[in-house]
Amino acid sequence: MSDQVQRLSDGTLVASRDVPVGGQAVLEGVMMRGTGHWAVAVRKPLPEQVAGGRHLEADEAALGEIAVERFPLQSVMARHRVLRWPIIRGAIALWESLAIGLRALNIAANAQLAEDEEPISPGTWVGTVIFALALAVGLFFLLPVTLASLLGDSLPNSVAFVVVEKLIRVGVFLAYIWLVSRLSHLQRVFQYHGAEHKTISCYEAGFDLTPENAQRFSRLHPRCGTSFLLIVMIVSVFVFAPLGRPEWYWLLLSRVVGIPLIAGLSFEVIKWLGRNRRHRWARVLMWPGLQLQRLTTREPELPQLAVAIAALESVLEVEEPGAATEAERAGIEVAA
């Protein structure tokens, strides 16, 4: 077996090489991002499937065609060296990833509509994004500090306050991930999430990109966005701990203002772990995040892997991510 791949105890394969390719699961599809381009591939439903509202079947013959769209990626980090500095590049990369991810979601959602249906308006997407960001900030940053503040008089000192706040934050995050994983209508999205990971790992290992080859790989990936969110929760403990317990308005403000710093630091951590995945100590540190991915990924079917491969092959038609310069690969460290 190649030195670029390892076999796990359950028989699945994992890649040892780290290549600057990222991605994201979307509705009945996958977005893949290289260093200079990104592409989204979506399985379009047949007319009778749209009318009947049925899930797509596993039989390839019963499926619609795979529609692929590719776009150039023009990162501001390629033009400004200061934006590629550690920590700063993480905040920029995540903002750019959010913008690309939202465009991919829009393309995928509109692909599932019947020909006579109106596409989702930009205003609807903007409203959805604002609501989602506000919910995330409120749920994972403001709610924990508010709950901890309510216990303020019963806590002996600022250290105890910080510990309680962080335990609440991690608890809220884990509960949220668990609840989302139970939603029945997201199970196919989780399968495409697994397909994205398997396809990226297959490419990183140097295997031919076929659904059968990709299926052999683990659905867990060290640079997954789920793992990244867990790292964010942990890093926030160390960022906010020195602040102690100031007045409530400074507490709330610090949790919002500190988000870019936490994101940048967390980006560097997951980037570092991804590069060192060959080492046992790195695998030990990655283990909690990998286990959390079991909630947000599912084993994909071969037709779903074909969609993920179509997206990645579209990117590979015009670039070679493995040969990218440091400037080009600066923002591609989270695999979604």
Task: Give residue 332's pLDDT.
Answer: 54
pLDDT at 207: 95
Domain residue ranges in the chain: 12-323
The Cα–Cα gap between 324 and 329 comes to 6
Angle at 203 between CA 216 and CA 225, to 5 degrees: 85
Q: Are 110 and 42 in contact (CB under 8 A)?
A: no
Q: Which residues pair with 33 in a beta bridge?
A: 22, 38
Q: Are 232 and 220 in contact (CB under 8 A)?
A: no
Biggest CA pair distance of the chain: 66
Give the pLDDT confidence of 56-103 residue by residue, as tens digits.
444 444 567 999 999 998 878 877 788 878 888 888 888 888 889 889
| Local confidence band at 336 (pLDDT 50, 70, 90 cut-offs) | low
Q: Which residues contact 243 (CB under 8 A, 6 or more apart)?
A: 162, 251, 254
Asked if 196 contacts 24 with a C-beta cutoff of 8 angstroms, the reply is yes
Q: Are strands 22-26 and 29-33 parallel, antiparallel or unpaired?
A: antiparallel
Rg (CA), the chain: 21
pLDDT value of position 60: 47
Q: Give yes or no for residue 251 having a pLDDT over 90.
A: no
User: What whole-number distance in Å separates Cα of residue 222 and Cα of residue 232?
Assistant: 15
**Each residue of 167-212: pLDDT tens digit?**
898 899 899 999 999 998 899 999 999 999 999 999 999 999 999 9
Residue 13 near residue 201 (C-beta atoms within 8 A): yes
Q: What is the pTM of this model?
A: 0.85
Residue whose C-alpha is closest to residue 46's, from 119, 109, 111: 111
Using CB atoms within 10 Å of the CB of residue 135, give its burial: 0 to 12 exposed, 13 to 18 middle, 19+ buried: exposed
Q: Model confidence over 28-64: pLDDT tens digits?
A: 999 999 988 999 999 988 765 554 454 444 444 456 7
Quick count: other Cβ atoms within 10 Å of Cβ 257? 10
pLDDT for res 56: 45
Q: Tell me the C-alpha to C-alpha distance, in Å, between residue 77 and each of 91, 97, 320, 332.
A: 11, 13, 19, 11
Token pair listed for 139: 């749920």
